[in-house]
Structure 1
């Protein structure tokens, strides 16, 4: 328990890898591992207040309407642009896309709700307490990319192509999710919505990921000042949350 309290982020990352990769020998992947790891480490490492803080981020819905529009609109625009440039995508009806989006928002075993409370609700604000958003996101991009790599083997087909898609796509959306999180007062809910919108249509090919990479570059270049200065207080761990006196029943 002392180790968890002294090193909550390290513990979170270790648990996330162990839980997710533990399913790989069985031909699966624990996409919900970040959520489980956060729910374990937050109350042990930061006390009851840490768990409350995580929960509040997950239901933080009071943001201006245009952030909801961006959370959904940016992924849709990326899909359309990639398709217009010659990318391939699954042929599905609008109703199917909407149903997939809604299911991803509420399904804790899916990437949106299964990942974001951990990556953005716990790890990102914890790291931004000491590092700039740019440095934090660069580190998280590497960690999350490595975490996703077993999927390249599980999906079959062209291994090099799968790895390239995972690397480019994961790095790109990590910057997008940080930007959205920091500009919405640390709202995990908005990031869950954005993640669900991104995966509602199964887009194939490296071109789609390259478009996401272009979005990430634009976000950094246009809003460079916010990436280099300290993150907003509501996008970091609350300083008054106890870390050394946490108790579990």
Structure 2
């Protein structure tokens, strides 16, 4: 599939979406034939953003995206949110699952906790391993394209739809659960909020995405099997949805506004609440 540069310039967001699917979905057939360990190439959105920016904005656009990826000078509270929130939410979801009758995790299962850090670092450092490297495309590029003509709130829904469709090969192969479609609504809300409130730091969203994959996908979720795994998935969706609802309600006036600049001043946690 070839998109002439003139079409990319005329339809940058549509071009980004099509290229994202092209760059991401090519391993799917190989996966079904047992020739690839992954169902999608998770760095597809990042590659698509690089191509579209190179055509539409050239070096300035590419530099802006790269600056967002390495933007680490943010308030310590945002690092706490990015690292701690996934742990808290996964822990609460697992606790609720046990209350519903699931077996209490064994000492051996809990002893695997140090492995979370290893998985986290691997997903941060190795593009394509997990969903971490999707974020330069979703947050670093797509969010800004959508918010050019929409409020932050209105921009959530087309981004959610694009991300859900991106996961279709994973749903079909069983590597993602259909309940995650609902979970992605909450994820888009929380990740967009963290991205903007940290001063448009893609790095912070990569951290929260990587930590969530590590602590939920590799630590808590494997503790449950059968019907309890299904319950845990729904409890996880419930917890994420509650947190997302709080983020929406507390910051409602902020959500209905628009970004005036490509980079915003990092807010403190108190300012995020007070902005309502």
Tell me the TM-score normalized by structure 2. Answer: 0.78
> 2:193 matched to 1:174?
no
Structure 2: state its 5+ residue gaps. 32-38, 222-228, 265-276
Deviation at 1:149, TM superposition (A): 2.0
Distance of aligned partners of 1:154 and 1:173 in 2 relative to their CA distance in 1, 3 Å threshold: same
> 2:236 matched to 1:217?
no
Alignment match, 2:45: 34
> 2:34 matched to 1:6?
no
Which of the residues 201, 209, 234 maps onto 1:206? 234
Which of the residues 137, 142, 146 maps onto 2:161? 142
Q: Is the 8 A contact 1:12 1:38 kept in 2?
A: yes
1:37-81, Cα deviation, whole Å (9 max, x unpaired): 112111111111000000000000111100000111111110111
Q: Is the 8 A contact 1:145 1:171 kept in 2?
A: no
Which of the residues 31, 52, 67 maps onto 2:63? 52
Q: Is the 8 A contact 1:31 1:110 kept in 2?
A: yes
Q: Is the 8 A contact 1:112 1:193 kept in 2?
A: no
Distance of aligned partners of 1:232 and 1:200 in 2 relative to their CA distance in 1, 3 Å threshold: farther
Q: Secondary structure at the match of 1:14?
A: helix
1:147-191, Cα deviation, whole Å (9 max, x unpaired): 1122112127xx9xx22x220121211111100011011100000
Higher mean alpha-carbon deviation, 36-45 vs 85-94, is at 85-94
Deviation at 1:119, TM superposition (A): 0.3
Aligned partners of 2:47 and 2:170: how far apart in 1? Answer: 19
Greater RCO, 1 or 2 (C-alpha within 8 Å, sep 6+): 1
Deviation at 1:232, TM superposition (A): 5.0
Deviation at 1:206, TM superposition (A): 2.2
Q: Is the 8 A contact 1:31 1:115 kept in 2?
A: yes
Alignment match, 2:25: 21
Which of the residues 54, 57, 81 maps onto 1:70? 81
Alignment of 1:155-166 (within 5 A): 155=174, 162-163=177-178, 165-166=179-180
Deviation at 1:235, TM superposition (A): 4.6
Alignment match, 2:210: 196
Q: Is the 8 A contact 1:82 1:208 kept in 2?
A: yes
Give the RMSD, CA atoms, in angstroms: 2.0
Q: Is the 8 A contact 1:125 1:235 kept in 2?
A: no
Aligned partners of 1:61 and 1:132: how far apart in 2? Answer: 26
Higher mean alpha-carbon deviation, 90-99 vs 77-86, is at 90-99
Higher mean alpha-carbon deviation, 197-206 vs 119-128, is at 197-206
User: Whose radius of gyration is greater, 1 or 2?
Assistant: 2
Q: Is the 8 A contact 1:168 1:210 kept in 2?
A: no
Aligned partners of 2:132 and 2:25: how far apart in 1? Answer: 18
